[in-house]
Amino acid sequence: MSPDMLISLLTKGTLQTLQMVIVSGLIGTALGLPIGIFLATSGKGELLQAPMLNRIVGLIVNATRSTPFIILVVAIIPFTRLVAGTSIGTQAAIVPLTVATIPFFARLVESAIREVDKGLIEAARAMGATPMQIVIKVLLAESKPAITLAFTLTIVSLIGYSAMVGAVGGGGLGDLGIRYGYQRFMPGVMLAVVVVLIVLVQAIQSAGDRLARSFDKKNRSQ
Amino acid sequence: MAEHVSGLAERPVAETGAPMVGFENVIKSFKSRETGRKAFRALDNISYSVPRGAITGIIGRSGAGKSTLVRLVNGLERPSEGRVIVDGTDVAALDEVALRSQRRSIGMIFQHFNLLSSRTVYDNVAMPLEIAGMAKLDIKRRIEPLIDLVGLSERKHHYPAQLSGGQKQRVGIARALASEPKLLLSDEATSALDPETTQQILGLLKTINRDLGLTVLLITHEMEVVKAVTSRVAVMDKGQIVESGRTFDVFTAPQHETTRSMLAALPGGSLPDWIGRQVIADPKPGCNALLRLRFFGETADQPLVSRLMAVLDSPVNIIAGTVDEIAGEPYGTLYVAYSADPAIMQKADQFYAQTGLNAEVVGYVS
């Protein structure tokens, strides 16, 4: 394979991966965030008490989380066709990726919010705050560094997941590595794909870490 | 801070009018987690009034129910039975919405400060006003003097992680005062602080009480705190108020066993160990009587010990003693020993009867 061709394949694959990761990442976390908040605050004796609904949502989240991703991709094909109009291609791959992101991010947000000191909730209640004010001004504000890290982790995991959607013609770097590197015995392509993925993950992780640190006012010294 | 500390010695603001808080036959039971039904009574039929304009203390060991009691006042906890009247309103009967506006007129400070780590000093103090929907400029006008009052103007853009414990609690106090409350609840506010910082925070509470006429209800397990700032105190044990009254009276003439044992932890509250070990209950020939003399009110101002020595015409051995201040009044305890000879004992008793000195034989030492 000529270097030009390799570069053009890599560029196309990277763009497809980024498209899938960014779109499903943004939609998935936007939908996962409120679900995570709900899971963290609706238990018995908590802020938005709704124990029945909490258990139902928790069950759905667990069910989605425990389905292997590749099975999820195939299982929701009818839904994918409904949303994307087709069941193959990059756009179609975004649907299962988003569906998998929602419960993943929701659980991460839930645990981030549960880390917030209960005393702060009590103090806000004592000030006369409404549950909504407590969610926004206390829970989200205080867990912002942790949620930033959760978002970073979600995006990095999505890069891994996106490699699997080659199975439905989603394209992207993972697909490139499998089809050229593995099936056509081109270790050079495989290596190039892995290198690009490593660089991508590193860049996202360190940007996320830096952002989280700038939000974190807890571990500052005098 | 100096003027705050010296403020400790001053008398509390006069108590006027109807009580600020009235507990009427309050019962609070919790369901046990294991069985789900057998109720544990955290508060067992409490009736108590917190006077307006004063600093009132509720003291008890951990688990006595004082935390629950103070949380009834701003509705963080609901009573199972009974009424909690705050400034004429039965808090227990309010719904969530009415309760929220009620809470805005009650400030609260906490043992672990409960400041938002993501907000600066200024933004923490501004929080209650933000919640109430006040305009940014009005907030600024209101809280700048408060941050000044607690002595943190230079640190208003710092984050809580950059402050010491005492500074954090001052932020907590400024925040509690931001909504100009009529009542300040203090939940073990000094328990996480060192003794010196504790004194500063107590001095600040005292200043606020005096200058703003704010009613303060504080709960604590530390007798020192009650002694330093409160004018009234209630002692809690196992969900009940076992003793209450003017702090000075409760401290100088404790009636209940719980009060006595808590007071024993104070300096001068009990015999030093070395002499305590030698004390016997009944007199032996030639032994000395060991007495506890307590000076307060009129007897605190007179040279009674030297007069006692003159009257007895026999050696008086001073074993241990402290002179202290309770709720702004002088109070001293002195352990003395002198001959248990009946003639001398009788002369001493006459002297105590004439002078009104509070004396009590605690035992005999050889």
Report CB contact under 8 Å: A142, B100: no
pLDDT above 70: residue B16: no
CB atoms within 10 A of CB A135: 22
Fill in the DSSP letter of residue A135: I
Output A104 or B297, whichever has higher pLDDT. A104
pLDDT above 60: residue B110: yes
B231-261 residue pLDDT tens = 999 999 999 999 999 999 898 888 999 998 8
Residue B38's pLDDT is: 60
Q: What is the pTM of this model?
A: 0.85
pLDDT above 60: residue B316: yes
Residue B139's pLDDT is: 96
B268 closest CA partner among B223, B328, B236: B223
CB atoms within 10 A of CB A155: 24
- In chain B, the largest separation of any two C-alpha atoms, in whole Å, equals 82
As given in the structure block, the two tokens for residue B305 are 């010990």
Min Cα distance B15 → chain A (Å) is 26
**SS3 state of residue A86:** coil
Q: How far is CA B269 from CA A98, B61, B229, B292, B362, in A?
A: 69, 17, 19, 10, 13
* Contacts A217 to B, Cβ<8 Å: 117-119, 159-161
Q: H or E stretch including B346?
A: helix B342-355
B125-168 residue pLDDT tens = 999 999 999 999 999 999 999 999 999 999 999 999 999 999 99
**SS3 state of residue B134:** coil
A135-153 residue pLDDT tens = 999 999 999 999 999 999 9
Residue pairs spanning A and B at CB distance below 8 A = 74
A118 CB within 8 Å of a chain B CB: no
pLDDT above 60: residue A157: yes
pLDDT above 60: residue B15: no
B254-269 residue pLDDT tens = 899 999 888 887 766 7
The beta-carbon contacts of B246-252 under 8 Å, at least 24 apart in sequence, are B246/B327, B247/B57, B247/B326, B247/B327, B248/B296, B248/B326, B248/B327, B248/B329, B248/B331, B251/B226, B251/B227, B251/B326, B251/B327, B251/B331, B252/B294, B252/B296, B252/B326, B252/B331
pLDDT above 60: residue B14: no
B110 closest CA partner among B237, B229, B235, B220: B220
Cα distance between residue B154 and residue B228, in whole Å: 29
Band of residue B327 on the pLDDT scale cut at 50, 70, 90: confident
Spatial contact of A73 and A20, defined as CB atoms under 8 Å apart: no
Find tokens 């928790």 and name the residue. Answer: A58
Residue B5's pLDDT is: 39
Min Cα distance A121 → chain B (Å) is 9
Mutate to test the interface with A, among B73, B97, B114 (most CBs of A within 10 A): B114
As given in the structure block, the two tokens for residue B130 are 């933000």
As given in the structure block, the two tokens for residue B347 are 């002369």
A117-137 residue pLDDT tens = 999 999 999 999 999 999 999
**SS3 state of residue B34:** coil
Mutate to test the interface with B, among A44, A113, A117, A127 (most CBs of B within 10 A): A127
pLDDT above 80: residue B102: yes
B159-192 residue pLDDT tens = 999 999 999 999 999 999 999 999 999 999 999 9
- How many degrees, rounded to 5, is the angle at CA B357 between CA B351 and CA B363? 85
Min Cα distance B172 → chain A (Å) is 10
